[in-house]
Amino acid sequence: MTTPVNVTVTGAAGQIGYALLFRIASGAMLGPDTPVRLKLLEIPQAVKAAEGTAMELDDCAFPLLAGVDIYDDPTQGFAGTNVALLVGARPRGAGMERADLLEANGGIFAPQGKAINDGAADDVRVLVVGNPANTNALIAASNAPDVPKERFTAMTRLDHNRALSQVAKKAGVPVSEVRRVTIWGNHSASQYPDLFHAEVGGRPGADLAADTAWLTGEFIPTVAKRGAAIIEARGASSAASAANAAIDHVRDWVLGTPEGDWTSAGLWSTGAYGVPEGLVSSFPVTSSGGDWQLVEGLEIDDFSRARIDASVAELAEEREAVRSLGLV
């Protein structure tokens, strides 16, 4: 049997964890030929709940699941890990200022970054889901100086998938006929879903985007505020779709993106598209051979430029805030 891939999931007892672990164990993330060993990392108070989830994983008798271990210590939780999904984060409490939120999350993602640096496998790939995802990824990467920066990514795949679905509905085509949509910037309300390079039912996405009333009045705000709309409707935040997006992100990273298409991921900027170096910002990307490649050379018009710049400015502010806290 092939050696199992070690997959660490933090926040394993949470909502997303519950929607994520069973799909990883079923082979949906790494493919039907790759056994996985799950390493669940939780805070001590949630270890018992994680044990319950582990019992259910046992009860599924997944042929690909080589084992489940539960930890409350990041050093053990990340030891030898190949794929790390950082889902657990500190939510914004009532009356909590942004600086407090960033500091509380720094207290999680800085030590996790260090533990990944010191103990993860050489090929470790990290996806940060817990919010504020981009800046949490920046904190983790900054605390892992020996791991290449491109191995730390933030999840904007849920935004990407939301955009695909909204466009498909508008155009009356199946989602499979929507390609090359891009999410730029931060996973926040400032993100910019870009249709100008897309292909929708064989036609240029720019044709749809020419309807500016729909673009700015419906499409962009619907995608950017979808998370809040789901909380309003469901009484709980999006967990199954977030877990699905995490599966999509890692699967495409490891197994490759389809020919002729691209996806969106938060990556450590090297300065492309005017995004300052060292911000973790969402870009259009393809993947092959287990590495992301930035889609280069897209023309960015004034409309898109202003929106990308606004979201990137928010990321730069978040970086300043965590810098002043000594977290990066």
In angstroms, rounded to a whole number, what is the distance separating the alpha carbons of residues 319 and 139? 9
In the complex with ligand NAI, the residue whose CB is nearer, 124 or 245, is: 245
Stretch of 82-90, 116-124, 193-201, 215-223 lying at the interface with ligand NAI (CB under 6 A)? 82-90
Residue the block writes with tokens 């490649």: 293
In our burial notation (b when 16+ CB lie closer than 10 A, e otherwise), range 48-70 reads eebeebbeebeeeebebbbebeb
Q: Is 244 annotated as a binding residue?
A: no
Please state the length of the chain: 328
In the region spanning residues 85 to 124, those forming contacts with ligand NAI, defined by CB under 6 A, are 87-89, 91, 108
Q: Which of 38, 84, 158, 328 binds ligand NAI (CB under 6 A)?
A: 158
Stretch of 22-30, 39-47, 254-262, 320-328 lying at the interface with ligand NAI (CB under 6 A)? 39-47
Q: CB 270 → ligand NAI: shortest distance, Å?
A: 22
Per CB under 6 A, 328 contacts ligand NAI: no
In angstroms, rounded to a whole number, what is the distance separating the alpha carbons of residues 53 and 293? 36
Q: Which of 151, 170, 179, 187 binds ligand NAI (CB under 6 A)?
A: 187
Residue the block writes with tokens 């889609």: 295
Q: Is 98 annotated as a binding residue?
A: yes
Contacts of 311 (CB under 8 A, 6+ apart): 184, 185, 186, 188, 190, 191, 192, 281
Stretch of 172-180, 210-218, 234-242, 319-327 lying at the interface with ligand NAI (CB under 6 A)? 234-242
Selected catalytic residue, list 160, 187, 197, 249 = 187
Per CB under 6 A, 155 contacts ligand NAI: yes
In the region spanning residues 161 to 180, those forming contacts with ligand NAI, defined by CB under 6 A, are none
Looking at residue 6, its amino acid is N
In angstroms, rounded to a whole number, what is the distance separating the alpha carbons of residues 69 and 115? 17
Per CB under 6 A, 247 contacts ligand NAI: no
Q: Which of 16, 167, 285, 308 binds ligand NAI (CB under 6 A)?
A: 16
Question: Does residue 249 carry a catalytic annotation?
Answer: no
Per CB under 6 A, 282 contacts ligand NAI: no
CA atoms within 13 A on the CB side of 224: 19
Of 30, 34, 41, the residue nearest 8 (C-alpha): 41
Q: Is 23 annotated as a binding residue?
A: no
In angstroms, rounded to a whole number, what is the distance separating the alpha carbons of residues 229 and 244? 18
In the complex with ligand NAI, the residue whose CB is nearer, 5 or 129, is: 129
Per CB under 6 A, 43 contacts ligand NAI: yes
Q: Could you please report the per-residue DSSP string of 3-69?
A: PPEEEEEETTTSHHHHHHHHHHHHTTTT-TT--EEEEEE--GGGHHHHHHHHHHHHHHT-TTEEEEE
- Within 10 angstroms of residue 225's Cβ, the number of other Cβ atoms is 12
In the complex with ligand NAI, the residue whose CB is nearer, 93 or 202, is: 93
Task: Please state, in angstroms and as integers, the Cα–Cα distance from residue 275 to each residue in 155, 271, 306, 313, following that order.
Answer: 17, 5, 12, 9
Stretch of 36-44, 194-202, 279-287, 302-310 lying at the interface with ligand NAI (CB under 6 A)? 36-44
Q: Which residues define the annotated binding site? A: 11-17, 92, 98, 105, 112, 129-131, 162
Binding site for ligand NAI (CB under 6 A): 10-11, 13-17, 41-43, 46, 87-89, 91, 108, 129-131, 133, 155, 158, 187, 237-239, 242
Active site residues: 187
